[in-house]
């Protein structure tokens, strides 16, 4: 087959639709006009576009993460493990994307950022309600965060609902009990709006699962999917911290936090503590 014929085959667009007067286009479906008109620079600085796009793209990825984690949580509650595993694997892949976003943002130099930083006022990623929703659906609850969004009743209601609902780790622990493992009743019936505290019965259950993975294959896979998510989350937090340090050093964040100091502190938090503890005990 001639090379030019192959090229013609792949570049042939003679059958492509061109009349869209009454048909939906690609741009219509994705609402691109609205999406691409959402990058409103407050300064004339060239690099502010980079700053806006990176954060907007990350918010879109966070939206998909929430969508997948909430669905996986429901699947686990219904014993639909294979569906949950696929969703959680997708979450891990999404996390690789938002980690790499920091590599792009780190091309912004300190001198360049300082030329438009003042236009941000007190706007900060600390206020990202989707990031907080990710924390809530994973099971990490911080009550003072909900207060930030009281001025928006619709958003506040959504956050409060996620804040009070069982998170991904809560339903995973419930799955242990359903499979016959002894879990302290106080853990199963706890107030899900409170911060989770490590429990020895949960640790013992995961240890038994890891020692007998063939017997408890679904729960073993579930454990590893959770570890994947936590691992990538911590890598995201680390890249966030180092990118901030690279660009603004140890300045106070625009949202009033200690900046790098705050980001370093959250690196010590674990969503699924017993799953890390079990590695030492095996």
Residue 98: pLDDT above 90? yes
Task: Please indicate if the annotation marks 156 as binding a ligand.
Answer: no
Residue 6: pLDDT above 70? no
Task: Please indicate if the annotation marks 96 as binding a ligand.
Answer: no
Specify the range with the lowest mean pLDDT, choosing from 19-23, 30-34, 179-183, 249-253: 19-23
Check residue 4 and give its pLDDT: 58
Task: Please indicate if the annotation marks 240 as binding a ligand.
Answer: yes
Check residue 10 and give its pLDDT: 55
Q: Indicate yes or no: pTM above 0.95.
A: no
Specify the range with the lowest mean pLDDT, choosing from 12-26, 40-54, 93-107, 244-258: 12-26
User: What DSSP string runs through the chain?
Assistant: --HHHHHHHHH--TT-----SSS--HHHHHTHHHHHT----SSS-TTHHHHHHHHHHHHHHHHHHHHHHHHHHHHHHTT-HHHHHHHHHHHHHHHHHHHHHHHHHTTS-HHHHHTTGGGGTT--GGG-HHHHHHHHHHT---HHHHHTTTTSHHHHHHHHHHHHS--HHHHHHHHHHHTT----HHHHTS-TTSPP---HHHHHHHHHHHHTTTTTHHHHHHHHHHHHHHHHHHHHHHHHHHHHHHHHTTPPPTTSS-THHHHHHHTT--SSHHHHHHHHH-
Task: Please indicate if the annotation marks 209 as binding a ligand.
Answer: no
Residue 72: pLDDT above 80? yes
Report percent pLDDT > 70 for the chain: 94
Could you report the per-residue pLDDT of 252-271, keeping only the tens digit for each?
Answer: 877 777 788 888 888 888 99
Check residue 131 and give its pLDDT: 93
Task: Please indicate if the annotation marks 254 as binding a ligand.
Answer: yes
Specify the range with the lowest mean pLDDT, choosing from 2-11, 61-70, 166-175, 273-282: 2-11
Task: Please indicate if the annotation marks 113 as binding a ligand.
Answer: yes
Specify the range with the lowest mean pLDDT, choosing from 60-64, 138-142, 160-164, 232-236: 138-142
Range 132-141 average pLDDT: 93
Task: Please indicate if the annotation marks 53 as binding a ligand.
Answer: yes
Mean pLDDT of the chain: 91
């Amino acid at each position: 087959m001639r090379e030019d014929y192959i090229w013609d085959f792949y570049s042939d667009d003679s059958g492509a639709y061109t009349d869209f007067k009454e048909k939906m286009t690609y741009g219509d479906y994705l609402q691109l006009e609205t999406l691409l008109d959402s990058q409103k620079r407050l300064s004339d600085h060239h690099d502010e576009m980079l700053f806006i796009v990176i954060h907007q793209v990350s918010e879109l990825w966070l939206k998909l993460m929430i969508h997948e984690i909430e669905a996986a949580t429901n699947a686990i509650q219904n014993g639909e493990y294979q569906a949950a595993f696929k969703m959680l694997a997708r979450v891990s892949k999404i996390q690789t994307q938002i980690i790499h976003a920091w590599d792009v943002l780190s091309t912004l130099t300190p001198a360049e950022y300082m030329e438009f930083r003042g236009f941000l006022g007190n706007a900060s990623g600390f206020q990202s309600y989707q990031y907080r929703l990710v924390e809530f659906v994973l099971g990490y609850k911080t009550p003072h965060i909900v207060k930030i969004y009281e001025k928006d009743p619709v958003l506040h209601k959504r956050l409060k609902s996620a804040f009070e609902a069982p998170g991904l780790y809560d339903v995973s622990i419930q799955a242990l009990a359903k499979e016959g493992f002894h879990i302290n009743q106080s853990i199963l019936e706890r107030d899900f709006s409170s911060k989770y505290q490590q429990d020895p019965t949960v640790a013992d259950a995961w240890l038994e699962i890891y020692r007998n993975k063939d017997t408890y294959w679904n729960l073993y896979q579930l454990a590893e999917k959770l570890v994947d998510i936590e691992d990538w989350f911590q890598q995201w937090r680390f890249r966030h911290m180092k990118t901030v340090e690279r660009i603004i050093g140890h300045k106070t964040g625009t949202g009033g936090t200690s900046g790098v100091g705050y980001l370093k502190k959250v690196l010590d938090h674990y969503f699924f503590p017993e799953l890390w503890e079990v590695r030492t005990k095996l």
